[in-house]
Amino acid sequence: MNICFVANIDESHATLRALALAEKGHNVTFISGPGVTQVDLDVRLITPRERSTRLGRFLESIRFKLEYLREIRHAKADVYMTVYSSGLGPWLLHASGENPVAAMVIGSDAYHEISDLAEDEVRLTNAYYRNADLLIAESPHMKMLLQSMGVSPDCIRTLTWGIDRQLFSESAELDIRAKYDIKSDAPLVFAPRGFKDIYDPELTIAAFHLLVQSHPDARMIMLGDKQAPSFVNRVLPLCKRLSLEEQIIFPGKIPQKAMPDHYRAASATISTARSDGAPNTSFESLFCGTPVIMGKLPNYEGRFTHGENVLLAEFTAEEFARQLRSVLEDAPLSARLVRQGKTLVDAYADNRKNLNRLEGWLKTLVRDAPRHRARLRYIYGLRLLLQPLIRSVRNGFHAPNTENSNIASIRQKPL
């Protein structure tokens, strides 16, 4: 198949899926906004030009979008794919009228109640969902949510991307505790989600601060971009204010191949994400033998069960700290969570099996979906072209300029 991804080339969710399909022998191309190409794929980058005046930026945003739209219409793919849906690339794909379209729906896109999307952006995203030929939801709860938006259930499949079981085996290669000078018997909490607002790193730190009151030798490793404003302006000052500089370790970003050893070294993995789908980090941790504490979100229903394969906490520091103490102090509970968690991975999160399922759905879509001549959706497209002007008028011309960036909001979703 000729598969065209309309996605941000810097986004790992998209590149992992594209590379996996390319390894299966498919011809995969990538149409992306500005980014750094580090993958062996046919990548077409559309880059905006700098403009110093408001009018210049507005006109450049129109030129940029028209060039993006032209690249999509010239791709002539058998199927078009997106990973994130609340951004310029998917919206322009919808405006182009090209088909068939398969959209992999990520949790932070579908759950608008906590996202930073403006009202018009929610409408654009929902219109894209309703007109896609195939929607791939991460969980049963997400499938129900898409149906409530008006998507036909016949167009929705449920699939968790899953993990590389070979990579996340239990044979350690690196002694993480020795690397970070952590005692072998000290409680170690691993926080792999990063510093974006949606992951609520302040809540993670507050919970760990309470844990230290009862386990003073506890340590925590928090991953994430140390250049991010959220880290510099909020996370680091909070650690200093709570006197946790010695207890919390910030390695920055680490390569995927180093993740298994971090999971194996930890006593527990924590996720305080405020919105989520089916997080791979939880599957990875469980497969590596480390129990997981997550926030109590309705979208986890059908996958994660409190007390069976994970512990689910209300969104307070006290509750997360209590659940952390539970796995640290109750060895039979911790063992049961891991044992049942591995069963969960076997059932839903083997990415080799799931890749074969995805490939089968795409082949069926290409074979059976009614193909029609691409017709531009002019009204939808006009809304996209005039979006910065409309937003400026609504905000009294004080809205920040985001048109020359391929980052749509503080949730850091790709265009």
**Residue 397 scores a pLDDT above 50:** no
Q: Which two tokens stand for residue 107?
A: 């949790």
Highest mean pLDDT among 85-99, 141-155, 177-191, 392-406: 177-191
Distance between CA 178 and CA 191 in Å, rounded? 18
Residues 6+ positions from 356 with CB-CB distance below 8 Å: none
Architecture (CATH level 2) of domain 176-349: 3-Layer(aba) Sandwich (3.40)
pTM score, two decimals?
0.79
Residue 402 has pLDDT above 60, yes or no: no
Identify the pLDDT of residue 172.
Answer: 63
Band of pLDDT at residue 400, cut at 50, 70 and 90: very low
Which runs of E-coded beta strand occur in 238-397? Answer: 248-252, 268-271, 292-295, 311-313
Residues in the chain: 415
Q: Which CATH number fits domain 2-162+352-394: 2.40.160.20, 3.40.50.2300, 3.40.50.2000, 3.30.750.24?
A: 3.40.50.2000
% of the chain surpassing 70 pLDDT: 88
pLDDT at residue number 298:
83
**Tell me, what's the pLDDT at 187?**
97
Q: Does residue 54 carry a pLDDT above 90?
A: no
388, 343 contact by CB (below 8 A):
no
User: What are the start and end residues of each CATH 3.40.50.2000 domain in the chain?
Assistant: 2-162+352-394, 176-349
How far the first Cα of the chain sits from its last, in Å, is: 24
pLDDT at 379: 75
Residue 404 has pLDDT above 60, yes or no: no
Please report the pLDDT score of residue 181 as a whole number: 94
Residue 315 CB contacts under 8 Å (≥ 6 apart), including other chains: 200, 203, 272, 274, 295, 296
- The per-residue pLDDT for range 66-79, each reduced to its tens digit, is 999 999 999 989 99
The predicted pLDDT at position 44 comes to 80
- For residue 114, the model assigns a pLDDT of 58
pLDDT tens string 99-148: 999 999 877 677 766 566 777 888 888 889 998 999 999 888 889 889 98
Give the CA distances from residue 305 to residues 139, 302, 310, in Å, rounded to whole numbers and listed in that order: 13, 8, 6
Per-residue model confidence as pLDDT tens digits over 348-395: 999 899 999 999 999 999 998 766 666 777 777 777 777 766 665 555
Helices (H), 97-151: 107-110, 119-131, 140-148
What's the pLDDT score for residue 405? 32
